[in-house]
Amino acid sequence: MAGFQTMWRTILRRVISLAFVLFSVTFLTFAVSFNAPGDPVLNMMGGRQDPARYAFLKTLYGFDQPWYVQYISFLSKLLHGDLGFSFKYPERPVWELIASGVPVSLELGLLALVLSVLIGVAAGVSAALWQNTWRDTVISGIMLALYSIPSFVLIPIIWSADLALYRAGLPALPVAGWGKPEHLVLPVLVLTAANVGFIARLVRNSMLEVLRKDFIRTARSKGVPWGLVIRRHVLRNALLPLITLLGPASAFLVTGAFVVENLFAIPGVGYLTVQSIGQRDYPVIQATTILLALAVVVMNLATDLAYTLADPRVRSE
């Protein structure tokens, strides 16, 4: 009972700290938008000079109020689920614009995360079990290369390979667009690449550390089959650190999606954010930034909870 009370106190502290993080994100996002160069009202008017309409729009959006009044109003609306209206499309609520991109980003990110975990764990386990062999060298080398290559470098390489297949008369994959299964292949491949390298290296190192433990040698000395030792003892302990990696991995997918979605013309949240920056559509920028920060915060909280439940030692501390 005391262990679970400690666990819930830990979770409560995490929730409070994450709530503070979200509050800080809202303030910083508002501050950047408030102090951004240019006049959003003039931008909405297309640069036309109309003093009466300018004054009307400035009052309508509350830009005639002090910054702290605008921030309190922004925060109050946010807490009630009101994200305001787009500057670029004044008749459309921000949430309506975001709602179409959220399922796209979720599908792209979750698929890449699942593939990263499956491939990364398999590669890491294989490299550890074949330690100091040519298999370990090949796997570790490939994973290190994938981890080291940035997305904006990997994408042209993949495009070139896809073009080579097309010129050779083989079926090529689409390099832009969304809506068909084949549109998923290349962007998911890019998002998976760096994550799978990081996960594989973590799993390999964790596996090697567990293999050196005394209880593994004890199990082996008692005649327990090697396969059973791996399944029951090594994997169970070696994969625990992987749980804590899911939070940072999801954060990497979020930031990577900005590059991937824009270069592959995928209508997700990352694509919408970059387009809104170019259009100075500050309400959309604020909303997407907060939404992405919320996704990372929730994922980190979920991984903390999962690790606490998975490792009894944490509950007893």
- CA nearest neighbour of 84 among 279, 272, 281: 281
The residue-averaged pLDDT of 212-226 equals 73
* pLDDT at position 139 over 80: yes
Cross-strand bridge partners of residue 93? 85
Q: What is the mean pLDDT of the chain?
A: 78
Q: How confident is the model at residue 33 (pLDDT cuts 50, 70, 90)?
A: confident
User: Alpha carbon 236 to chain centroid distance?
Assistant: 26
User: How do residues 151-182 score in pLDDT, each as one tens digit?
Assistant: 777 888 888 887 887 787 777 777 777 878 88
User: Is the pLDDT higher at 1 or at 95?
Assistant: 95
* pLDDT at position 75 over 60: yes
pTM to 2 decimal places: 0.77
Q: Which of 36-40, 96-100, 184-188, 273-277 has the lowest mean pLDDT?
A: 36-40
What structural domains does the chain harbor? 100-311 (1.10.3720.10)
Give Cα separations from 82 to 18, 43, 59, 93, 107 (angstroms). 21, 23, 18, 9, 25
User: How do residues 101-123 score in pLDDT, each as one tens digit?
Assistant: 888 888 888 888 889 889 988 89
User: Alpha carbon 228 to chain centroid distance?
Assistant: 35
